[in-house]
Structure 1
Amino acid sequence: MIIGETVPAVPSWLTDPLWDQFAALLPARPEFAAGHPLRCHRRRIPDRIVFDKLLQVLRFGCSYQGIADTTCSASTIRNRRDEWIKLGLLARLKQIVLEAYDRIVGLLLEDISVDGCITKAPGGGEIAGPSPVDRRKQGMKRSLLAEGYGIPLGRELAGANRHDSPLLAPTLDHLGDLGPLPADITVHLDSGYDSGKTRDVLTGRGLHGESARKGDKAPIQASQRWHVERTNAWHNAFNRLQRCYERRKTVVDAFFDLADAIVTLRALIRKAWTTHRWDNRPSRRP
């Protein structure tokens, strides 16, 4: 590696199509900022630079000040991030990638799984709480919904002290964003959901539950819930999600939307590599 060379946060075969779709969502902007306080012409920082900076923050978990340089300041990264969140662009990007995956590969909705994951939240914030597994330090819990292969479909964020079971109903509500669903859906859960309340929630939604039973060893009751556990591991590979310093829920959701888009697009490219041809296709299967 050449000294001073920047390590890419995401490979170019994954970043380029992601940016192409995101750029199509951006509204038209003037090249110069008309509202400059000194009434002079200041060239607007290109959106691609800020997008790459957000990818680096997501992947490496660094601070905005740590990733800022002569091309883009920390305040510009935060301001552009908030602007895109207000426009709903990152959520829309995630939805478009998910729809593309469903159209080309197909979502496996007959078997879905839900699982909770506790991570660190040293900065506290709106969705932080005392962690029961980290000496009551501030932590965050995500209740994740995934389809049969592990593609993330939705999440519910809460403090680390919240139990998994009460988060099941709002997590399953994300199924309503997917359009037509199969007639028979099986929800795979771990033993933390083994309760009458969970069974009532599933029955009320017309879903079939397959929960691990408390006291039984894992090999005996192994099921398809390992897909969501793998997806949680994919999320934790993004250091900004594993150790989150963001204090606002909207910002955390935006980073999760960006991570979901990356995870889904990576799976789409991997599965389509043997059946499709396109420009800038990776020479080797990802």
Structure 2
Amino acid sequence: MSNDSTPKPKNVDYFRVPRPMWRKIKKVLPKTPKKRGPGRPPADNRAVLNGIWYVLWTGCQWKAVHKDWFGVCSSTLHERFQSWQQQGLFDQFLRIMVKFYAKKRQVQWCWQSIDSKSCPAPLGGEHTGKNPTDRGKQGSKIHLLVDQRGAPLAVYISGANCHDKWSVDDVIISMVIPRPDPTDVEQHVCMDRGYDYEDVHQFVEQERYIAHIKHRRRRGEPLVDDCPVPGETQFPARRWVVERTLGWLAKRRSLRVRWCKKVKNWRAFVQLACAHILMDMAIYG
């Protein structure tokens, strides 16, 4: 029998937000007003969040959520979702779970990684564009910054026609908790060759990072074996953790294809998914 006392992750319940996560985020939700006079009582926050959770995982339409499942009609779910998003509650969810992760496991600031993932956006909307890698179809990009373990610390949404290099500053600025002083904690950042541009190097240096960006071979440049880049092979592979986290996001069907025309609504779904990933990493490692 194993002596490992670390709890093992359970299968995801699409109909119910995990209890540890609910205990953390319920504190910032607005209190359900008491019923006054005739009419239906206000929907319970837990039931509403369970409905939003179901849409996140299944990718179904809001109207496809049956009232009998959560005791809340689909119009109330969508209305409350947009209200919470406008109040900035999903930003708070992510911030709360980052702090929870930092308390349990400590954020590994020494090695960070940045990458993006393109998703189709058939309905268009804000922050969408023609994806040059998908025959010019409309799409969006999810940009993430993660720590050494792959815990998401920053989320940014852009159009699929936006080059990765233009989003580096937005991703770093979007970090939900302040970075430690680089003089106290040496901080490295890893990116793929799509970020190998002079302005990216300048911004990263300005933010006092030590950059590890995969070299992009220019026209007329000799082969990589004949032109080694100092620092590229001095450290083990570390960028894969951000790709793994993007893969975890893709398990949620609503994040595989963007059906939200409003970019803030879609970002709210991404933030809720990142909050769940942080909870799992804090509890299960």
TM-score under structure 2 length normalisation: 0.83
Partners in 1 of 2:45 and 2:198 — Cα distance? 50
Instruction: Look up the equivalent residue of 2:67 and give its one-letter code.
Output: D
Specify the SS of the correspondent of 2:156.
strand
Q: Does 1:41 align with 2:39?
A: yes
Partner residue in 1 for 2:85? 85
1:249 maps to: 263
Distance, in Å, in 2 between the alignment partners of 1:28 and 1:266 is 27
Write the distance in 2 (CA, Å) between the matches of 1:155 and 1:101.
16
TM-aligned CA distance change 1:261 to 1:65, over 3 Å: same
Please list the CA deviations of residues 15-58 of structure 1 after superposition, one character each: whole Å capped at 9, or x if unmatched.
111112222222223232x5xxxx73321122211111111111
1:214-249 superposed Cα distances (whole Å, 9 cap, x missing partner):
2459xx857311111111111111111111101112
Structure 1 residue 200 and structure 2 residue 214: aligned?
A: no
Distance 1:174 1:133, change over 3 A: same
What does residue range 1-286 of structure 1 map to in structure 2 within 5 Å? 8-9=13-14, 15-32=18-35, 40-70=38-68, 71-175=71-175, 177-183=177-183, 184-215=186-217, 216=224, 223-271=237-285
Native 8 Å contact 1:113 1:147 kept in 2? yes
CA shift, 1:175, in A, is 4.2
In structure 2, give the amino acid aligned to 1:15.
P
Shift of 1:250: 1.5
The 3 A distance-change label for structure 1 pair 30 and 155 is: closer
Identity of aligned residues (%): 26
Tell me the distance in 1 between the aligned counterparts of 2:65 and 2:131.
Answer: 29
Gaps of 5+ in 1: 1-6, 272-286
Aligned counterparts of 2:181 and 2:59: Cα–Cα separation in 1: 36
What is the aligned-residue RMSD (CA, Å)? 2.1
Letter of the aligned partner of 1:116 in structure 2? S
Name the amino acid aligned to 1:16: R
| TM-score of the superposed pair, with normalisation by structure 1 | 0.83
The one-letter code of the counterpart of 1:255 is: F
Q: Secondary structure at the match of 1:43?
A: coil
Residue by residue, what CA displacement relative to the aligned partner does 1:99-140 show, whole Å, maximum 9, x if unpaired?
011112101111101112111111211011111122211110
Give per-residue Cα distances to partners, 1:199-227, cap 9 Å, x unaligned: 1111111111001112459xx85731111
Q: Which residue does 2:9 correspond to in 1?
A: none
Rounded to whole Å, the distance in 2 between the matches of 1:204 and 1:48 is: 44
Distance in 2, Cα, partners of 1:22 & 1:267: 16
| Contact 2:154 2:176 (C-alpha < 8 Å) held by counterparts | no
Q: What stretches of structure 1 move > 6 A for 4+ residues in a row?
A: none
**AA matched with 2:43:** I
